[in-house]
């Protein structure tokens, strides 16, 4: 039995080390290790609760809005604040475009080179690629000249001997199964996706003021101010005191029209490029719908509130246990707890016990193995990631989990979307929770979201036009109005899955703060009973055709879209790197 280590895993968020045992061409056991401690939960203590979101957002540069939203909601829950309708819709549009950008970028920029051989694209016939593109959609960039141009750019890069971003890939690996024409098509779309996301993120610069790290979150609502008299009055799109500048007010007629136009561009790219490419990949790699299955426990906290009461979501809350898709069980925050028995944390009492986040602590205590790290084999504690459990069970979270919870819960539109995805995966909805299925699940969610954006925008326009210009409830803005102590939490969903924030306020300051992120769930180490986390479980059984180039392991890891920056949430200010640990590069960029 061989021990195979990938450290760091690249094309993810944060620092992740994967160790596996390999025997007879298959992974027989796996250990997921977050190798960077950040301690945002400690940074948050003593802050003004109204400022907490700004710090929480810095948990991650990719998932920034997810944690900003999780934080304002937790403080609103603690102070019993309800937000106005306009704020709910603006938050849905901001968070929704974040999901769409994240999923599409994850596919092209982070994941596609596990499936697409960039060097093989040099062998492609541009005419064959153009013909292939025309069978996929009406996307206008489908000419022979266009693909010849992309190939020339790639050829120049390759001839320079410096593949840059594409260096150190496992090019020529026997597990690559696309034709050269398919490879070239997806490489062309890799570049197009970079341009497209720049356009999409203008929605964030309009509604969030900046991207990333949107600046308009507010405890009580959103700091996005409608023009005097609502959008109709400012028909020119200009605020009465408008000074000369390039962007209109987001909530002016011009601003809302701009957002609508960007939504149309987004939908076209999704329909003509992204969704067909995911389908192409699914047809080329059908065996991967059976690989990477986990324990089949799925959790979703629910996201995109569709009413002001906050009890109906586009993506429903619930959980599915042991793959039983006939029913979704209800969930609430009291089911969530974390163990640190295999993590580098100190805790008073039994480390194998599960501690609810409201009582959680973050006391970093690195406990070996000796450095420099060569293997975690035999190490009892092996990660900076804690082990969250729902009523004692390890859960998978993320797009596949959300869709399966929605399917089991029986929502009509979601059920038909899942059935269509299942057909692409060989028939059964459960296949969504596989290495290929998790990738297809992102595409299903992107299509679901772009189908909702226009309606959310119309609702926002109509509500502003009706004279309701409220964007925030600031009646509790004065800390003098707060109780001497309060506690709150939020359960929501980010692109990578279920995100919970738990906080308490004492003497007008943040007293305790705990985050349990999506990747904390998925990249969790073992718990007190020795049970693996979702990613560890999914890796068992992964085939390996060339152990020196573990491409197949990367496929299963990347399908989870891990973000360990989020999962661990101090850094060592000396030049020794992440506390106590040196990492040596390995694996493909
Ligand atoms: Ni993140
Ligand atoms: Mg945490």
- Ligand having the closest approach to the CA of 518: 1
Tell me the sheet residues that pair with 494: 497
- Ligand having the closest approach to the CA of 39: 2
**Mean pLDDT lowest for which of 46-55, 213-222, 350-359, 515-524?**
350-359
The average pLDDT across 399-405 equals 98
516 CA from centroid of ligand 2 (Å) = 5
Predicted local distance difference test score (pLDDT) of residue 412: 83
527 CA from centroid of ligand 2 (Å) = 15
196 CA from centroid of ligand 2 (Å) = 33
The average pLDDT across 187-212 equals 95
275 CA from centroid of ligand 2 (Å) = 34
144-150 contacts: CB < 8 A, separation 24 or more?
146/188, 147/184, 147/185, 147/188, 150/184, 150/187, 150/188, 150/191
Q: Which residue's structure tokens are 């729902």?
A: 390
pLDDT in tens, 108-156: 999 999 999 999 999 999 999 999 999 999 999 999 999 999 999 999 9
- Ligand having the closest approach to the CA of 497: 1
Name the strand (E) or helix (H) holding 94: helix 85-105
51 CA from centroid of ligand 2 (Å) = 19
Residue 470 pLDDT > 70: yes
Output 500 or 378, whichever has higher pLDDT: 500
Predicted local distance difference test score (pLDDT) of residue 231: 61
Predicted local distance difference test score (pLDDT) of residue 580: 30
414 CA from centroid of ligand 1 (Å) = 26
Place 578 in a pLDDT band, splitting at 50, 70 and 90: very low
305 CA from centroid of ligand 2 (Å) = 25
Residue 576 pLDDT > 70: no
The average pLDDT across 94-113 equals 97
- Dist CA 579 CA 508 (whole Å): 32
Output 2 or 134, whichever has higher pLDDT: 134
566 CA from centroid of ligand 2 (Å) = 8
458 CA from centroid of ligand 1 (Å) = 30
- Ligand having the closest approach to the CA of 569: 2
560 CA from centroid of ligand 2 (Å) = 19
41 CA from centroid of ligand 2 (Å) = 7
Q: Which residue's structure tokens are 């016990």?
A: 353
- Ligand having the closest approach to the CA of 385: 2
Predicted local distance difference test score (pLDDT) of residue 589: 34
pLDDT in tens, 387-398: 999 999 999 999
In contact, 527 and 342? CB cutoff 8 Å: yes
388 CA from centroid of ligand 1 (Å) = 17
Predicted local distance difference test score (pLDDT) of residue 525: 97
106 CA from centroid of ligand 1 (Å) = 12
- Ligand having the closest approach to the CA of 517: 2
514 CA from centroid of ligand 2 (Å) = 5
- Dist CA 70 CA 56 (whole Å): 8
- Ligand having the closest approach to the CA of 524: 2
| Closest CA relative to residue 342, chosen from 503, 513, 515, 536 | 536
493 CA from centroid of ligand 1 (Å) = 12
Predicted local distance difference test score (pLDDT) of residue 569: 54
517 CA from centroid of ligand 2 (Å) = 7
Place 229 in a pLDDT band, splitting at 50, 70 and 90: low
- Dist CA 228 CA 292 (whole Å): 54
pLDDT in tens, 332-363: 999 999 999 999 999 988 888 999 999 999 99
92 CA from centroid of ligand 1 (Å) = 19
- Ligand having the closest approach to the CA of 63: 1
Residue 31 pLDDT > 80: yes
- Ligand having the closest approach to the CA of 338: 2
- Ligand having the closest approach to the CA of 384: 2
| Secondary structure (DSSP) of 20-36 | EEEETTEEEEEEEEE--
**How many residues belong to the chain?**
589
Output 328 or 294, whichever has higher pLDDT: 328
The average pLDDT across 42-56 equals 97
Averaged confidence pLDDT in the chain: 91
49 CA from centroid of ligand 2 (Å) = 18
274 CA from centroid of ligand 1 (Å) = 22
| Secondary structure (DSSP) of 505-573 | EETTEEEEEEEE-HHHHHT----TT----HHHHHHTT-B-S-TTS-HHHHHHHHHT--BHHHHH----S
361 CA from centroid of ligand 2 (Å) = 9
- Dist CA 14 CA 587 (whole Å): 15
Residue 475 pLDDT > 50: yes
CB atoms within 10 A of CB 586: 15
Q: What is the pTM of this model?
A: 0.93
Provide the percentage of residues in the chain whose pLDDT is more than 70. 93
**Mean pLDDT lowest for which of 78-87, 197-206, 405-414, 445-454?**
405-414
- Dist CA 242 CA 120 (whole Å): 53
The CATH architecture assigned to 2-112+199-579 reads Orthogonal Bundle (1.10)
Helices (H), 248-323: 253-269, 275-284
| Closest CA relative to residue 519, chosen from 541, 549, 544, 493 | 493
In contact, 58 and 266? CB cutoff 8 Å: no
60 CA from centroid of ligand 1 (Å) = 5
Strands 497-506 and 217-218: unpaired
103 CA from centroid of ligand 2 (Å) = 23
In contact, 491 and 468? CB cutoff 8 Å: no
Assign residue 332 a region (left: φ > 0; alpha: ψ between -120 and 50; beta: otherwise). Answer: beta
């Amino acid at each position: 039995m061989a021990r195979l280590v990938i450290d760091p895993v690249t094309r993810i968020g944060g620092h992740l080390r994967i160790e596996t045992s390999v025997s007879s061409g298959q992974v027989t056991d796996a250990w997921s290790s977050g190798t960077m401690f950040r301690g945002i939960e400690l940074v948050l203590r003593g802050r003004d609760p109204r400022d907490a979101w700004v710090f929480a957002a810095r948990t991650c540069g990719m998932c920034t809005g997810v944690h900003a939203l999780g934080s304002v909601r937790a403080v609103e829950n603690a102070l019993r604040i309800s937000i106005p309708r306009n704020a709910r819709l603006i938050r849905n549009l901001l968070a929704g475009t974040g999901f769409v950008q994240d999923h599409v970028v994850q596919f092209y920029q982070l994941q596609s080179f596990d499936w697409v051989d960039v060097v093989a694209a040099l062998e492609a016939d541009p005419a064959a690629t153009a013909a292939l593109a025309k069978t996929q959609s009406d996307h206008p960039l489908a000419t022979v000249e266009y693909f010849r141009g992309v190939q020339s750019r790639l050829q120049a890069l390759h001839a320079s001997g410096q593949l840059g971003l594409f260096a150190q890939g496992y090019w020529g690996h026997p597990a690559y199964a696309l034709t050269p024409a398919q490879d070239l098509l997806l490489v062309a779309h890799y570049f197009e996706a970079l341009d497209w996301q720049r356009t999409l993120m203008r929605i964030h610069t309009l509604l969030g003021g900046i991207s990333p790290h949107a600046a308009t979150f507010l405890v009580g609502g959103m700091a996005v101010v409608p023009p005097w008299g609502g959008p109709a009055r400012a028909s020119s799109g200009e605020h009465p005191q408008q000074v000369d500048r390039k962007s209109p007010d987001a909530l002016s007629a011009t601003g809302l029209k701009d957002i609508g136009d960007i939504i149309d561009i987004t939908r076209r790219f999704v329909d003509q490029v992204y969704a067909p490419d995911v389908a192409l990949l699914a047809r080329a790699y059908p065996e991967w719908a059976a690989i990477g299955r986990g324990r089949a426990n799925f959790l979703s906290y629910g996201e995109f509130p569709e009413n002001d009461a906050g009890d109906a979501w586009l993506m429903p809350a619930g959980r599915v246990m042991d793959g039983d898709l006939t029913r979704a069980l209800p969930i609430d925050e009291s089911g969530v707890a974390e163990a640190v028995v295999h993590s580098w944390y100190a805790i008073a009492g039994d480390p194998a016990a599960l501690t609810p986040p409201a009582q959680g602590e973050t006391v970093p205590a690195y406990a070996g193995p000796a450095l420099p790290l060569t293997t975690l084999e035999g190490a009892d504690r092996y990660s900076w990631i804690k082990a969250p459990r729902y009523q004692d069970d390890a859960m998978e979270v993320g797009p596949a989990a959300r869709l399966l919870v929605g399917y089991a819960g029986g929502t009509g539109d979601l059920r038909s979307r899942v059935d269509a995805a299942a057909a692409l995966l060989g028939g059964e909805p459960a296949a969504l929770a596989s290495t290929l299925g998790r990738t297809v699940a992102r595409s299903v969610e992107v299509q679901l979201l772009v189908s909702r954006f226009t309606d959310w925008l119309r609702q926002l326009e109509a509500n502003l036009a009706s004279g309701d210009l409220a964007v925030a409830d600031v009646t509790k803005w004065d800390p003098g109005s707060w109780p001497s102590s309060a506690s709150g939490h939020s359960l929501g969903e980010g692109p990578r899955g279920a995100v919970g924030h738990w906080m308490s306020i004492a003497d007008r300051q943040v007293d305790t703060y705990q985050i349990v992120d999506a990747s904390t769930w998925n990249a969790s180490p073992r718990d007190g009973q020795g049970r693996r986390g979702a990613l560890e479980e999914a890796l068992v059984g992964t085939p390996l055709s060339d152990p020196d180039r573990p491409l197949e392991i990367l496929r299963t890891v990347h399908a989870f879209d891990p973000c360990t920056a989020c999962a661990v949430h101090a850094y060592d200010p000396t030049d020794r790197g992440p506390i106590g640990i040196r990492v040596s590069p390995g694996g493909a960029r």
